Structure 1
Amino acid sequence: MSATGPDEVPAELAAALLPPLDPPPVFDADTLSTWFASLDPVRRGVRAPGTWRAYAVDLAHFAEWCALHDLQPLPAAAETVADYLVAHVEKLSVATLQRRLAAIAVAHGVIGVPSPTDGEHVGLVWRGLRRVHEPGRRRRRVDALETRNLADLVAPLTDTVMDHRDRALLVLGFAGALRRSELSALEVGDVVVEPGRLLLTVRAAGARAERVVELPRGKRLETCPVRSWRKWAEVARLAEGPAFRRMTKGGKSLRPERLGDRGVAEVVKRRTLDVGLDPSLFSGHSLRAGFVTSAARAGVPGVSIARQTGHRSAAALAACVREERPFPGNPAAHVGL
């Protein structure tokens, strides 16, 4: 039975009948988030808030690539979209590219023009790329940055603004088992300082729900989430807006723009290089995998780890573990074999 009455219009159709918006003036993720937020409630209500945030990040990446090649992102030509897919199929997963296509299509619908993703040219290229790259394609497993590695990364950091930012980003990302997109999306207001702990409101891109993550005060000054955040907030004079921000070239001063998810990965790679590790083996996900691996090795129950990470399945949680040797407390050692 339909959820709409005889005189009601389905939400998707009602959204399509609303007047279009003008394209945004610029295409960074924050501006695009504001642009999507300006949609009327009917059109915006068709999708979850997290989906709109994910679309803003996806569209910003597409627009950045267009700018490098002197191409127009919105409205975009079908050839532009097809070339973008070909350029990134070796760098991004098929699932990520599929979400990028969805973001491009939605953005064209918002401005009231046909989407190039609906045309035969993009469709043929997309089907061909999926046929070649999707079957049996294995995701590259990056190495984990465990507790000892985290201590090594932050040990050389000094009292500069950039060093305080990077310390807080690395420590909070590890202790909260955050995805790089979650670190990028954090707002100052999402971080609440309480006696002996931080409470983070974490929003996953594309998810309807958010979770609150507790980060207790650490035993060591250099890896303490509470003290790392408080010092960073103090030197950066954070009052509102993005929790982690970009730096000027050379890292001498702070910029107001949000540090993007690729920027998070670049911090991890730069700091691993600084301590003599191979940066090609690490990414933003290394912090999350490092927390899960360290906690599992310490014998923390999986349900407690999943409460911190937000994993919904044991299989997804297990995929984060980087360990070939059996963990302490392996259940097979306690069943009388």
Structure 2
Amino acid sequence: MAKEYNTGAPPEQGGTDGISLPAHVAGSGTLDRLVDTARDYARAAASDNTLKAYARDWAHFARWCRMKGAEPLPPSPEMIGLYLADLASPTPPSPALSVSTIERRLSGLAWNYAQCGFTLDRKDRHIASVLAGIKRKHARPPVQKEAILAEDILAMVATLPYDLRGLRDRAILLLGYAGGLRRSEIVSLDVHEDDTPDSGGWIEVFDKGALLTLNAKTGWREVEIGRGSSEQTCPVLALEQWLHFAKIDFGAVFARTSRDGKRALETRLNDKHVARLIKRTVLDAGIRSELPEKDRLALFSGHSLRAGLASSAEVDERYVQKQLGHASAEMTRRYQRRRDRFRVNLTKAAGL
């Protein structure tokens, strides 16, 4: 009898549907609890945003397969190769996807297949050859977001009022800039270690600055943020003022406020708030005002804070690399929008 496959909904997020006792082992209270514990750990193997993206990837591929009269399971390298080719070819009204998006889609399929107990061989010629051709024909240099430089961040925080929301948003911008933080890292901070189950790190404030311990996408790292030279732009003082006036001494550092803006709630801010805050204050501060508003909004994102620190900090490159949590100096240089590329002149060093 032919083996049957479930071709309906995508695998459960986190791959927990495949975690169970071996068929030859009898269940017990202890083992059943361990299965539940293992499933909890499996759910934590990837971030919620990553799991949501993988679910969307699977849904799109499954729908594509059905439209072509095929099934998504078991994996077919031939069909996946055709799917990649379709993603790269514009078919009005749908535009062609970028190479990076196509690679992300392929990673999503590989993850979903793994949750179903299959291995997707990405080196199979039907997949690898098509993907190599797509890269050769369509690959473009990555589009980088504009860096928020020192003078920009000063102008941005100057647009914020000194009410409770303004204090919070000022702390977000200054702390994110000085720490070179991702927007997800900013909003995942707790006041203390293990305050909440969804914590991504915690803060410690000292006389000379603040120490952030982060559980980031590259693993645990410490970020040291010293006190600034001015009270108006010191990220540590801005953080202290927000925590004091919001009366936050436990849980999420950056929380939502009530409708009247007079008190902080317990609900953690979403990372999209950081992106919206950056775009709004960029407009209010008149940064790149020579461009149309639509173009100005497209230039800046949450990554503009990290790029700004990398581009503005006049220190040895290795310190910037450590602050950003990069594994290589080459990755750090991608964030540096302005730097002396010829500071080390190998032509003269080689005797020419």
Partner of 1:57: 49
Greater Rg, structure 1 or structure 2? 2
Task: Tell me which residue corresponds to 1:30.
Answer: none
Taking the aligned partners of 2:142 and 2:65, their CA distance within structure 1 comes to: 24
| Equivalent in the alignment of 2:238 | 228
Question: 1:183-198 maps to which residues of 2 (within 5 A)?
Answer: 183-189=186-192, 190-198=202-210
SS at 1:214 equivalent: strand
Contact 1:198–1:215 (8 Å) recurs in 2: yes
Alignment of 1:16 onto 2:18: yes
Is the counterpart of residue 302 in structure 1 residue 341 in structure 2? no
The aligned counterpart of 1:320 is: 335
What's the TM-score once normalised by structure 1's chain length? 0.65
Give the letter for the 1:159 counterpart. Y
Q: Specify the code of the residue in structure 2 equivalent to 1:280.
A: A
Q: How do 1:154-173 and structure 2 match up within 5 A?
A: 154-173=157-176
Deviation at 1:256, TM superposition (A): 3.1
For 1:326, give the aligned amino acid: D
What is the correspondence of 1:110-259 to structure 2 with a 5 Å cutoff? 135-189=138-192, 190-205=202-217, 207=218, 209-247=219-257, 254-259=264-269
Count residues with an aligned counterpart: 275
Gaps of at least 5 residues in structure 1 are 1-12, 20-37, 66-72, 119-123
Deviation track 1:74-118 (CA, whole Å, cap 9, x = no partner) reads x999439999x9899579844555566577778xx5xxxx69xx9
Listed one character per residue, the Cα deviations across residues 35-88 of structure 1 (whole Å, up to 9, x for unaligned) are xxx9744445569x5x43x1x23345788x9xxxxxxx9x999439999x9899
Q: Which letter does structure 2 place at the counterpart of 1:79? A: R
Q: Percent identity?
A: 31
Give how far 1:158 is off.
Answer: 2.0
Q: Do the aligned partners of 1:196 and 1:226 also contact (CA within 8 Å) in 2?
A: no
2:281 to 271, 289, 292: 271
Shift of 1:228: 0.8
CA distance in 2, matches of 1:80, 1:263: 34
Match of residue 70 from structure 1:
none
Find the residue that maps to 1:227 and give its secondary structure. helix
- SS of the aligned residue for 2:266 comes to strand
Kindly state the Cα deviation for residue 302 of structure 1 after the two structures are TM-superposed: 1.3
Using a 3 Å threshold, how does the CA distance of structure 1 residues 46 and 263 change in structure 2: closer, same or farther? same
Counterparts of 1:90 and 1:250 in 2: how far apart (Å)?
Answer: 43
Cα deviation, residue 261, structure 1: 2.6
> Structure 2 length as normaliser, TM-score?
0.62
Say if 2:19 and 2:35, in contact at 8 Å, map to a contact too: no
Between the aligned partners of 1:168 and 1:91, the Cα distance in structure 2 is 36
**Cα deviation 1:293-323 (Å, max 9, x = unaligned):** 011xx2x111111111111112111100102
SS at match of 2:170: helix
RMSD over aligned Cα atoms: 4.5
Q: How far apart are the structure 2 equivalents of 1:94 and 1:259? A: 31
Q: How far apart are the structure 2 equivalents of 1:228 and 1:304?
A: 23
Contact kept, 8 Å, 1:94 with 1:130, in 2: the verdict is no
1: CA distance between counterparts of 2:147 and 2:207? 30
CA distance in structure 1 between the aligned counterparts of 2:42 and 2:179, rounded to whole angstroms = 31
2:310 match: 292
